[in-house]
Chains A and B, each alone.
Chain A
């Protein structure tokens, strides 16, 4: 019995080192080197693709926070991306083109919307939660299409990227790339800290066994609501980045298909790992970029791959990499 204890405590640190330090470090080093690669190959599209991967990675990490750590599957997260993006677009159209204003508004509006809808969504469970988040996502999609003043169905072109404290710091694609990089890094580190904090431990406990958590004194819904608001705010941040990257906002940003893609990214990468969401975003968007070059209907190929990953590697791509890391176990 004591022998088992010793082996258990010996095997714990090694995978955690891999899981929480080495693996994310490799991911971020790779992302940091993308502009260099783009320059060497003189392939500007790599820089755009890398930005896009990181922007959706911010939203996917945010989604993983509630899917992977609360067990709440939201099919409305694109709505928050759209809110964040529209905050940038509308403010810019009204003459407020500085990130000092648009960033807090983008994140704040998303958090407020998450709070208002979360209070209602969290009264439900399982499939009903999925449906009601979908409904709220669709609601703001249709609000966006009806904003005739700001482009309606056609969307809204943004005159220029946000300035930062009055300075055109993200004028170049390279500067924008590294700003997005820093926001993704910040998002990842923030969520990583969150899930292992006191707060995160309550969330994880509630996912495993909600009844046990309530009988030791926690009102799990309050914790889930706060997590939902944080997740919504981070998805809004992703929208802020998206609007600045494309210099355009459109209701398509908040379509339910986009919400579905975010779920695919999280599952494909590995639910409940945070860095898996980054891998998932990269895998999805790279597949889209390359497979769609080969076949028009690239999802015909991607679909079966996703099915295989879900069937044979429950932990997603991260799960496969973890198995390769420790082949003996």
Chain B
């Protein structure tokens, strides 16, 4: 995990973003090391999703740099970041409605394998796309829903599909924006198991409100308050930090 020697997968240097006079990201500097699951926690409005949006390229920071796999990607558009192995899931489910579950995932496989300027041949029947997509669906426990319309899924299943789409990109770094948001306890347990099984296979940044899940999964935790990181450390250190407890954990952990 954090041996301090490995080159970080992701390095944030003095990242800052304002929305008007509101500071949403305040001089964030952070290293994410290979294979760790790094959780980012913080109260509502701390700027967690804004931070994730800057990492995935949907928002451009006002200042600072984002170094991914050794290259500066601060001004790279989202699609090129995705192709370099920076994949994300969305807090508000962002699946393709009207597409089948399998098609949602197969499209991500298609993006990764390139050559989408093919004008003939039924994409929905291509084994080269469907087989890897089916693999991912099996790993995420969604194989039995492969042919359902993505709209017809339960909320928990939609969250699992979100994850499957991100995984189909075979990311080096997976950004998970509240994968447990709005789902029941049983489905939360399933998601935790799923993420636990993925640990070590790729580096992950997990933004999550469910503290039980965070402490069950995270190798390290950063606490974000009003846009700035007030603490980064091992779960035990974060739990014991008085500043963190007063700022956030106190109310949440009771």
**Contact surface of A with B, Cβ cutoff 8 Å:** 1-2, 4-5, 8-9, 12, 193-194, 196-202, 204-205, 208-209, 211-220, 223, 226
The verdict on B246 contacting chain A, using a C-beta distance below 8 Å, is: no
Contact indicator B78/A215 (Cβ below 8 Å): yes
B interface residue numbers (CB < 8 A to A): 56-58, 77-80, 82-83, 87-88, 90, 94-99, 103, 107-108, 110-112, 115-124, 126, 129, 144-145, 147-149, 152, 165, 168-169
With a cutoff of 8 Å between Cβ atoms, the chain B residues found around residue A208 in the complex are: 96-99
5 pairs of residues in contact across A and B, judged by CB atoms under 8 Å? A5-B148, A198-B123, A215-B88, A216-B111, A218-B111
Inter-chain contact B79/A5, CB cutoff 8 Å: no
User: Apart from A8-B147, A209-B97, A212-B165, what are 13 other A-B pairs with CB-CB below 8 Å?
Assistant: A1-B145, A194-B120, A196-B122, A198-B117, A198-B126, A199-B119, A201-B116, A201-B123, A201-B124, A202-B110, A205-B96, A209-B95, A223-B117
Which of B57, B77, B78, B144 counts the most chain A CB atoms within 10 A?
A: B78
Asked if A197 contacts B111 (CB within 8 A), the reply is no
Cross-chain contact B152 with A1 (CB below 8 angstroms): no
A212 and B95 form a contact (CB under 8 A):
yes
How distant is the Cα of A200 from the Cα of B121 in the complex, in angstroms? 10
Contact A193 B120 (CB under 8 A): yes
**Chain B residues closer than 8 Å to A209, beta-carbon distance:** 94-97
Q: Are B144 and A1 in contact (CB under 8 A)?
A: yes
Q: Assuming A12-B147, A196-B122, A196-B124, is B152 touching A217 (CB within 8 A)?
A: no
Q: Which of chain B's residues have a CB closer than 8 A to the CB of A12?
A: 147
Q: Is the CB of A215 within 8 A of B82?
A: yes
Q: How far is the CB of A218 from chain B (nearest CB, A)?
A: 6
**Which of these, B111, B112, B120, B148, contacts A8 with CB under 8 Å?**
B148
Docked pose: A40 CA to B126 CA in angstroms:
48
Closest chain B residue to A201 by CB distance?
A: B123
Task: Choose one: A193, A200, A214; the contact of B77 (CB below 8 Å).
Answer: A214
B147 touches A218 (CB 8 A): no
Check B124–A214 contact: CB distance below 8 A: no
- Do residues A219 and B79 form an inter-chain contact, with CB atoms below 8 A? yes
* Residue from B80, B96, B129 within 8 A of A212 (CB atoms): B96
* Residue of B with least CB distance to A199: B119
Tell me if A201 and B107 are in contact (CB < 8 A): yes
Given A2-B144, A205-B107, verify A216-B123 contact (CB < 8 Å): no
